[in-house]
Amino acid sequence: MPRDNPIYCAVDKTDPEEAAALVRAVQGPVGGIKIRKEFFTANGPQGVRGLAASGLPLFLDLKFHDIPNTVAGAVRAVCALNPAMINVHALGGTAMMRAAAAAVEAGGADRPLVLGVTVLTSLDDDDLADVGIGGRLTDEVVRLATLAQNAGLDGVVCAPQEIAAPRRACGPVFSLVVPGIRPAAADAGDQKRTMTPLEARALGANVLVIGRAITAAPEPAAAARALAAELAAAA
């Protein structure tokens, strides 16, 4: 996991040239890039290889969720792109997560980290109740994080407000990758559970996924540099 710079820039461009230009702009100030389903669906593995040419670590945010054999095959396929991190939905269950973990083992020390997605940052307690999941959202995150750890995954993706609970439940080595990161003055957009970079790091986040605060800025590189400098000063 990144130590000096935990910022992964969420590449929110679908056009490969625009995405490549963004990656070039932030290449120095960020620790890695996150590639979303939109880009992968539009451009496929070849498009990912184009962005990988930057040399930045890649988080392939494809959120696999299917029967175990299908997920294992998908994981083996994306490993050819040499990502640093990939993810699957923890709600896919223990067998599916174990299949995903087993599928990366052939990569040895260079294998990607496999993360379990807990509860999407666009959801809250009411949304969970709508789909039949009762109780508190934080309890559901801890349950899924523990399930992911027991299935052999390296960490989870969780919202900022849920950092502390899975950190306590799963220990210091378990990786926490956190989207929904916004500077204090930024709009939350379509995410209901957000937090500033400094707050998230203080609670124990390993990776901070930051999108619009960088990509929608007039100068993305300057925005990324300011965020990185703020984190470095507080370290």
pTM of the model: 0.92
Cβ-based neighbours of 208, under 8 Å, separated by 6 or more: 6, 7, 8, 178, 181, 197, 200, 201, 231
Per-residue model confidence (pLDDT) at position 189 = 55
What was the pLDDT predicted at 188?
Answer: 47
Integer Cα distance of 48 and 14 in angstroms: 11
Q: Return the domain boundaries, the chain.
A: 7-234
Q: Which residues of the chain have pLDDT under 70?
A: 1-3, 184-194
What positions carry a catalytic annotation? 63
pLDDT of residue 90: 98
Tokens of 109: 């020390």
pLDDT of residue 175: 98
- How many angstroms separate the most distant Cα atoms in the chain? 46
**Rounded to whole angstroms, how far apart are CA atoms 224 and 227?**
5
Helix (H, G, I), strand (E, B) or coil at 162: helix
User: At the topology level of CATH, where does 7-234 sit?
Assistant: TIM Barrel (3.20.20)
